[in-house]
Structure 1
Amino acid sequence: MKYGVKKALKKGVLSFENLELKFEYKKIKYLRLKASNDGEFKLSIPLTCTETEVFAFLQKNQTWIDKHLKRFLNAKTSLQKDTIRFLGRIYTLRFDENFAKTRLYKNELLAKNKKDLEIFFRQHALRIFNFYIQKYQLYFERKVSKVSIKKNKTLWGSCNHRFARINLNLRLIHKPLKAIEYVILHELTHLKFPHHQKEFYDFLGQIMPDFRQREQLLKGLNFTHQI
Structure 2
Amino acid sequence: MVTQINLGDIEVDVVLKDIKNIHLSVYPPHGKVRVAAPSRMDLDTIRVFTISKLDWIRKQQKKFRDQERETPREYLERESHFLWGRRYLMRVVEVDEAPRVELEHRTMTLKVRPGTDEEKRQAIVDGWYRGQVKAAAPPLIKKWERRIGVQVERFFVRRMKTRWGSCNPATRCIRFNTDLAKKPKDCLEYLVVHELAHLLEPTHNPRFVALMDRLMPKWRFYREQLNRLPVSHEEWLY
Matched residue count: 182
Counterpart of 2:185 in structure 1 is 177
Superposed counterparts of 1:1-227, under 5 Å: 27-30=3-6, 31-32=11-12, 36-37=27-28, 39-40=29-30, 42=32, 64-71=60-67, 74-76=68-70, 82-98=79-95, 101-113=100-112, 114=121, 115-221=123-229, 223=231
Q: Larger deviation: 108-117 or 144-153?
A: 108-117
Does the 8 Å CA contact 2:150/2:196 hold for their aligned counterparts? no
Q: Residue in 1 aligned with 2:46?
A: none
* Aligned match of 1:9: none
Aligned-residue sequence identity (percent) comes to 23
User: Would the aligned equivalents of 1:35 and 1:68 in 2 still touch at CA under 8 Å?
Assistant: no
Task: Determine helix, strand or coil for the equivalent of 1:217.
Answer: helix
RMSD: 3.1
Tell me the residue number matched to 2:38: none
Residue type of the alignment partner of 2:217: P
Change in 2 beyond 3 A, CA 1:36/1:190: closer
CA contact 1:152–1:169 (8 Å) conserved in 2: yes
Deviation track 1:74-94 (CA, whole Å, cap 9, x = no partner) reads 233699971111111111012
Q: CA deviation at 1:43?
A: 7.4
1:53-110 deviation per Cα after TM superposition (whole angstroms, max 9, x unaligned)? xxxxxxx876654331111xx2336999711111111110122232763111111101
Answer with 1 or 2: which has the greater Rg. Answer: 1
Q: CA contact under 8 A between 1:142 and 1:164: conserved in structure 2?
A: no
Deviation string for 1:113-156 (max 9, x for gaps)?
A: 42432332222111111121011010233310010111001110
Q: Show structure 1 runs of 5+ residues with no match.
A: 1-25, 45-59
Deviation at 1:204, TM superposition (A): 1.7
Give the distance between the partners of 1:90 and 1:125, measured in 2 at CA: 17
Residue aligned with 1:96, SS: strand
Contact 1:96 1:110 (C-alpha < 8 Å) held by counterparts:
yes
User: Any conservation in 2 of the 1:157–1:183 contact (CA below 8 Å)?
Assistant: yes
Judged with a 3 Å threshold, the aligned counterparts in structure 2 of structure 1 residues 43 and 216 are, in CA distance, closer, same or farther, namely closer
- Long gaps (5+) in structure 2: 14-24, 35-54, 113-120, 233-238
Q: For the Cα contact (< 8 Å) 2:151–2:172, is it kept in 1?
A: yes
Alpha carbons of 1:78 and 1:158: their partners in 2 closer, same or farther (altered >3 Å)? same
TM-score, length-scaled by structure 2: 0.66
